């Protein structure tokens, strides 16, 4: 490799981001270890875990998730500023990503995350300070997470401005960049595809009936409590239930498709101007935005994708 520094740009993609674990594992098994890691959104979370030496713990936790355990990560609160149980997820991140006191500048490899300034729309690179704060800022997808306050700015998901942070890797000194794009095959597919055919339609209808029959609440907190109590049984059907083509898409389908469209357009535009030397695009259109319990298949797809490209990867890296 002639001492060239390798950068790994891990892209955004919510639940599909578990594929990054498979990509990293496959690269390491073949003697390819990046010197610089930059991540956006879920890429920031997986990248931080890897650089901090906790990737095995993260993989063990992710692959142990069931639909029920995944549903427990979601809630609705009275402020309506997010849909993720941040307290529960924060505790899990301390176990599988980094301790509260861990600083980016103390990590053994160069690392950065990407966030978006909600007020100006500017791209923010987080290259020092708290690892957890940098990850939280990068994963704060509007509608699911509340915005993060940092340095007088409200920060949200970096996928809105830089879904695959090739440019950040180069700025940190990478000579060659391996980019992982999780959104390359999504548009027009995930809303048509049903991969939970074992969900009985009558159960879905029963859950829908429950929502329709919610009693009049005297306060927003009361309604939030009722909604949260139903989320465990209802979450798996957000993206995966069969629908007639004329049926209006759900709120979460609409959010997911809107994010996918934005990120797809931005990714294509930015990669034309600054193409990576290697681009890995796992096929993940069948995994919905909040289907965290599908980690095993996402990880396997990441490994499979790297193995299929291995001859080209080694050629480019001079191995």
**What's the helix, strand, coil split of the chain in %, to 5?**
50, 15, 40
Structure-token match 């960049």, residue found: 177
Task: Spot the catalytic one: 14, 15, 41, 130.
Answer: 41
- Cβ of 14: how many Cβ atoms within 10 Å? 25
Choose among 42, 41, 32: nearest CA to 8. Answer: 32
Q: Residue 299: is it exposed, middle or buried by C-beta count within 10 angstroms (0-12/13-18/19+)?
A: buried
Pairing of strands 153-157, 176-180: unpaired
b/e sequence 127-144, b meaning 16+ C-beta within 10 Å: eeebbbbbbbbbbbbbbb
- DSSP assigned state of 145: B
For the record, the structure tokens of 259 come out as 């994010």
Sequence-distant (6+) residues with CB within 8 A of 4 are: 175, 176, 317, 318
For the record, the structure tokens of 36 come out as 């610089």
- DSSP assigned state of 104: G
Instruction: Give the three-state DSSP class for 161.
Output: coil
Query: What is the rounded CA–CA span in Å between residue 100 and residue 95?
Result: 10
41 is catalytic: yes
Please give the distance of CA 279 from its chain centroid, rounded to a whole number: 18
Q: How far is CA 11 from CA 4, 229, 246, 279, in A?
A: 22, 33, 33, 11
Task: Spot the catalytic one: 137, 138, 157, 167.
Answer: 157
137 is catalytic: no
21 in Cβ contact with 192 (< 8 Å): no
Query: Active-site positions?
Result: 41, 157
């Amino acid at each position: 490799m002639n001492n060239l520094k390798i950068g790994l740009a891990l892209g955004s993609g919510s639940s599909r981001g578990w594929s990054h674990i498979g990509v990293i594992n496959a690269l390491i098994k073949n003697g390819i270890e990046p010197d610089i890691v930059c991540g956006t959104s879920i890429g920031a979370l997986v990248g931080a875990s890897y650089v901090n030496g906790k990737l095995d713990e993260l993989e063990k936790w992710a692959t142990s998730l069931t639909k029920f355990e995944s549903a427990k990560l979601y809630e609705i609160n009275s402020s309506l500023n997010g849909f993720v149980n941040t307290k529960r997820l924060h505790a899990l991140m301390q176990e599988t990503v980094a301790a509260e006191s861990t600083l980016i500048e103390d990590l053994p490899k160069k690392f950065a995350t990407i966030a978006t300034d909600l007020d100006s729309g500017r791209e923010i690179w987080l290259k020092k300070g708290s690892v957890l704060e940098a990850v939280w800022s990068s994963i704060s997808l509007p509608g699911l997470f509340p915005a993060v306050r940092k340095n007088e700015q409200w920060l949200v998901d970096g996928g809105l401005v830089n879904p695959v942070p090739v440019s950040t890797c180069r700025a940190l000194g990478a000579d060659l960049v391996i980019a992982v794009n999780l959104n390359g095959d999504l548009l027009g597919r995930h809303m048509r595809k049903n991969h939970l055919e074992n969900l009985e339609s009558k159960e879905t209808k029963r859950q829908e009936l429950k929502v329709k029959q919610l009693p009049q609440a005297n306060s927003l907190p009361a309604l939030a409590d009722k909604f949260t109590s139903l989320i465990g049984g209802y979450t798996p059907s957000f993206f995966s239930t069969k629908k007639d083509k004329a049926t209006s898409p759900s709120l979460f389908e609409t959010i997911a498709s809107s994010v996918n469209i934005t990120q797809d357009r931005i990714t294509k535009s930015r990669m034309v101007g600054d193409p990576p030397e290697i681009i890995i695009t796992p096929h993940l259109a069948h995994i919905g935005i909040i289907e965290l319990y599908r980690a095993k298949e996402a990880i396997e797809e990441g490994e499979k994708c790297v193995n299929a490209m291995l001859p080209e990867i080694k050629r480019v890296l001079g191995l």
